[in-house]
Amino acid sequence: MSRKQQLLKRHRRNKRMALLVVLLTLIAAGLLLAWWLVPLLAVAAWMAHEAWFADHLFYAPGDDYQYRFADHDEVPGVRLDNGRLSVDLPGPLQGDETLILAVTVRSGWLGRFLDPAVQLLGNDEGDVQTFERGVDGVRYLNLTGLGRSLSEGRLQLAGRFCRIAGTPRLWLWRQADARRQRVMVIAPHADDAELAAYGLYSQADEAWIVTLTAGEIEAGHYRRMGLGNSEAARLKGRLRAWDSIVVPRWAGVPEARCVQLGYFCLQLPAMQAAPDQPIASREADLADTRLFRQFNSLALPGDDGVPSWNNLLADLRALIVQARPQVLVMPHPTIDPHPDHICAQAAVREALQGLAWQPEMILAYANHLHDNDRWPMGNAHEGVSLPPVFDDRQTLVPCSLVLPAEVRRDKAMALGMMHDLQPPMPFKRKLRRGLQRVLAGRRVPAEGENEFFRKAVRRHELFWRSDI
């Protein structure tokens, strides 16, 4: 059982205990006061739960995030006076530096019901970064894109439903611009490349998009059309395979640089465990990948259709040798817990062993988290602060890009083309979102109702850099 599954199991157990306490309280209120209070209080308790307590947050909001950055990347002389941030910078800022500021954020009483946020106000630029309700600990603000205001001493920080406390700390990274290099994005599923890196690959001098699986499972939307289980899974896989080839064209990536390998969703761990064995689809009644590879324009070693780990490695090696990427973009091995994402980065690293061509850097992303399903918190088009991390044994190097409004708009349209993000939300989720809009002040993005439109259409794209 993965750590995320363990956290979710504990969360559900605690919720059942809380519901039992609420039920006993309601029964006692009915016996001691009036019977009609029971349904009234039950409805009120359910509305309160949906509005304020339905987030999957598997840690206490008062816990400090724990990051470790290299000492030489920290900038001394940081001061926060009456909300104005000033710093003794070692030199002028070029504007593309990654800037991370650690502060203590303490929620006010309203911040337990309305999302607390830090407003960043500069010369003619600004941002908002949102945190957990009830936050009371160290958090990491992303100041990337606000360097000019910071260097001129004009950057103001203001809490909304929270206050900023403690001594701020600032880190600065100057990195080569990945957009001026050959980029290969490894996507475990169709839409992972767009969610994590559309802004990067759409602006890159040369980009390749390599999608590993067809994403054919969980095809309930297509079963409602009257299809059987395997037929629905095959249709969903074909559509997502098509998406992985066609949608990057919206960003100017030629069809010849978009590749769908067609392996089966959530089967990468089983493939890795038995590298020589073909691993069939869970739901599509298929043991041949060629149905989902039919849109490729390149010939690859795995075109025999055998869904094995060894074929996956051979495909990746052939693509890396042909594309010669300077920058590889793929899931983070520890921050992103999805099993296919973990196996995707492991496959790339194994494929690189012994190759004559080696990329210059890896940029890792996280489209999922272990312990906070709402991150990045806040609304669409706002900034992306660092995610919750509670293990400081690994030295991390963040790399953040700022996405102009027109790029964010195009990114939203690319997500809208993805079939997996198009089905309507279940009624319960729509009702919850309506209650949160009215009672908790949350906004629904105009670009689409799927939660990824809120989470991915942001001012920043955030990666973690590592050298080969």
**Cis peptide leading into 307, omega within 30 of 0?**
no
Residue 1: per-residue pLDDT: 56
Name the helix (H) or strand (E) containing 46: helix 37-48
Residue 39: per-residue pLDDT: 75
Distance CA 274, CA 292 (A): 22
At 110-131, the pLDDT tens digits run 999 999 999 999 876 789 999 9
- Mention every residue, 6+ apart, whose C-beta is less than 8 A from residue 244: 187, 190, 193, 209, 211, 258, 260
202 within 8 A of 252, measured Cβ to Cβ: yes
Residue 43: per-residue pLDDT: 80
At 2-12, the pLDDT tens digits run 555 666 566 56
Distance CA 127, CA 458 (A): 11
Exposure class string for 370-398: b at 16+ Cβ within 10 A, else e: bbbebbbbbbbbbbbbbbbbeeeeeebbb
Residue 135: per-residue pLDDT: 97
Residue 459: per-residue pLDDT: 97
Residue 47: per-residue pLDDT: 86
Please state at what angle helix 37-48 crosses helix 3-32, rounded to 10 degrees. Answer: 160
The secondary structure of 349-406, three-state, reads HHHHCCCCCCCCEEEEECCCCCCECCCCCCCCCCCCCCCCCCCCCCECCEEEEECCHH
Q: Find where tokens 């990824």 sit.
A: 452
Distance CA 75, CA 170 (A): 6
Q: Which CATH architecture has domain 71-173?
A: Sandwich (2.60)
Phi, psi of 164 (to 5 degrees): -100, 130
133 class by beta-carbon count within 10 Å (0-12 exposed, 13-18 middle, 19+ buried): buried
This prediction has a pTM of: 0.92
Domain map of the chain by residue range? 3-53, 71-173, 178-467
Residues in the chain: 468
Distance CA 63, CA 53 (A): 18
- Mention every residue, 6+ apart, whose C-beta is less than 8 A from residue 152: 123
Distance CA 279, CA 263 (A): 9
Residue 191: per-residue pLDDT: 97
Quote the DSSP letter at residue 62.
T
Q: Which CATH architecture has domain 178-467?
A: 3-Layer(aba) Sandwich (3.40)
The secondary structure of 209-250, three-state, reads EEEEECCCCCCHHHHCCCCCHHHHHHHHHHHHHHHHHHHHHH
Residue 106: per-residue pLDDT: 98
Distance CA 155, CA 141 (A): 13
- Mention every residue, 6+ apart, whose C-beta is less than 8 A from residue 374: 55, 56, 57, 455
Distance CA 364, CA 373 (A): 19
Residue 4: per-residue pLDDT: 57
279 within 8 A of 306, measured Cβ to Cβ: no
Q: What is the mean pLDDT of each run of 10 residues along the chain (468 residues)?
A: 61 67 67 67 81 88 96 94 89 85 97 96 87 97 94 93 95 94 98 98 98 97 96 98 98 97 98 98 98 97 98 98 98 96 98 96 96 95 97 93 97 98 93 94 93 98 90
Residue type, 20: L
